[in-house]
Structure 1
C-alpha cells in the first residue's frame, strides 16, 4: 500500500484539475486495481465517477480508449517518480542502477493490474511516455559505459535490465502467494548487475549447515516404492523438510 500511495502523488498534467476526464480515469484505475480489467465496464466506471455512460464515450470513444487513458495516467505517475529518483550526479552508477531496477519492480509488484495495462497499451502518449522511460534507462547505462563499468554493449545492457525487471514481476505474480520469496527479486537484480556491469554482485550468502545435504538426499531418493516402508518414507520426508523446507528458511 505504501508504494501505491507514493505513486498516487502525481497526476498527469492533462488531468490536473477536477475535470470529468480526471474523475473517470481515477474511477477506472480504482476499479481496475480492485477487480481487474473485467471490472472496468463503462457502466461501472460512470457510476463510480458519478457520471452517465455517454460521458465516457464522448471523452474516450470506447472501453479501449478509456484503458489507453488509464495507461497514460499510470505512465505519468511512474515517470514522475522515475525522474525524481534518477540522479545523474550519483557517486555510484551501479547503486543508482540497482535503485532504478528496484523501483520498476516495486511498481509492478505492488500495482500488477495497472502495470499490465501500461505494458499492453500502444499508441499516442503511452508510446511517448515509454520512450521517455527508455531515455532514463539509457542515461543510466551511458553513465556506466562512461565509467568503464559495462560488461556488454549499451543496447544489450538496456535489454537485459528491462528483461530481468519484467521477468521478475511476471514470475512474482505467477507464483502462488504462499511460495513467493523476496530473495528471488534480490537474486534476479544481482544477476542482472553481474551480467551488465563489472561490479561484484551482492548475492545473498550461500547456505551452510545441513540444508544443502538434505536437498541432495531428497533429490537422490528413488521414486519407486519398496525401498522404504510408507511410515519410513513419511518420517524421512519430515526430517528432510525440517532440515531444508522446499520453500522457506531451514528450521533452527
Structure 2
C-alpha cells in the first residue's frame, strides 16, 4: 500500500530515483514522465549522473528527440490537442531504438536521438552501448499509459493552475492537453514513484 507523500529537494529526489533504478540487476528501463515545467529531462540526467558515479552505465534520452516528422504531427495544425496527446511521439521508434534494446534479450545499443525537430531532419548519432547492466532513462511528457516497457516508472504531477503559471506563453495551449492527460489517462496510476511537482524545486514523492 502506498505511503504518504514526503517532501524532498531535487537532489534528494534524484538520489531516491537513482537508488530505485539501481535495485534491479541486469538492464533497467526508466520512464520519467512529466510536463516541461517539472523538468523531467533535467531530473533524468541527474539520476543518470548519479548512477554513472556509482559505476553503472546510464543514459538519459529526451522523448522530444523522438517526435514524428512535422508533416505528420502538425497535419492538423501546430496547436491541435488530440495530435499533441496521441500523435506527436514516434512510439514505434522509441520501442525499437530505446526500449527494446534494453530488454532482457536486447542488444544494449541505444540510439540517443532520432530527429531534430527544429530542422525536421534525422540526427546521425551512433547507438550508445550500455551493456548488460545499463540503465536508460526516457524522459518527457505523455509517456505513461502507452504500454511502453519499463522496470521503473515515475510521474511528475503538476496541477492545472501551476502548469498555466509555469508554462512559457508559446506553450500555454498545451496546458489543457496535459490536463486531459491527467484526468483521462490517469498517469499517476501507472507510476511506481509519484511526485507532486507544483513547486518543482520543492517536490514531494510517494512510492507505490
Q: TM-score, normalised by structure 1?
A: 0.25
Higher RCO (C-alpha 8 Å, min separation 6): 2
Q: If each structure's helix is expressed as a fraction of its own residues, which one has the higher value?
A: 1
Q: If each structure's strand is expressed as a fraction of its own residues, which one has the higher value?
A: 2
Structure showing greater radius of gyration is 1
Q: TM-score, normalised by structure 2?
A: 0.29
